[in-house]
Amino acid sequence: MSETSTEAAAELSVAPIEDGDVPVVVALWQRCELTRPWNDPAADIALARRGSNATILIGRDNGAIVATAMVGHEGHRGWVYYVAVDPDHRGKGHGRAIMEAAENWLRQAGMTKLHLLVRPENTKVKAFYESIGYEEQPRVMYAKWLDGRETTP
Ligand SMILES: CC(C)(COP(=O)(O)OP(=O)(O)OC[C@H]1O[C@@H](n2cnc3c(N)ncnc32)[C@H](O)[C@@H]1OP(=O)(O)O)[C@@H](O)C(=O)NCCC(=O)NCCS
């Protein structure tokens, strides 16, 4: 796996998700408080795996699933969602490593820029993204559910 700046960084082995990983990944996202009532995580995984423009990368430390990133593109920019490291395995460089794997996946898909969204209340994660080279960009995000639902928070 790629180098990390954490001296005692543990090795993270990264591969695309397989069917048997899905329940473990959903449980990890719940533990990391990344799930929302309006998103069915298993359905999100299935949709991301439907085409070749997206996948969920899974990071294993000694065989155990400890990190994830949903990565994909719409033909112009790359995006990541569900960036997560198991709370018991944080601070070991796994977040940096799974993001490097997502960046490499996007480079191979021909993308030159990665965008990501952070909820304003998630202040801790800002330091993480800044440590790995991301900069906040002054943009306003607009959204609309395409099935007619009211806007969710
Ligand atoms: C954010 C998250 C993925 C970081 O994972 P991690 O494995 O602990 O991160 P790493 O060990 O790879 O840290 C990489 C760098 O970020 C910094 N960093 C990570 N978490 C940090 C925090 N909470 N506060 C300050 N800096 C932090 C590290 O110090 C390190 O910096 P350095 O390389 O300059 O020393 C993890 O905390 C997480 O899963 N959080 C909950 C889910 C979440 O909020 N996901 C993002 C949604 S947008």
What residue spans define the domains of the chain? 13-131
Helix (H), strand (E) counts: the chain: 4, 5
- Distance of alpha carbon 36 from alpha carbon 20, whole angstroms: 23
The token duo for 73 is 């593109």
Q: Is 1 helix (H, G, I), strand (E, B) or coil?
A: coil
Cross-strand bridge partners of residue 22 = none
Q: Residues 13-131: name the CATH superfamily.
A: Gcn5-related N-acetyltransferase (GNAT) (3.40.630.30)
Read off the pLDDT band of 9 (50, 70, 90): low
pLDDT at 108 over 70: yes
- The residue ranges of DSSP E strands in the chain, in sequence order, are 13-16, 54-61, 64-73, 78-85, 114-116
pLDDT of residue 88: 97
Q: How far is the CA of 20 from the centre of ligand 1 (A)?
A: 27
Q: Which of 30, 84, 91 is nearest to 57 (CA)?
A: 84
pTM score, whole prediction = 0.94
User: From the CB of 83, is ligand 1 less than 6 Å away?
Assistant: yes
Nearest CA to ligand 1 atom 33: 5
- Distance of alpha carbon 151 from alpha carbon 86, whole angstroms: 30
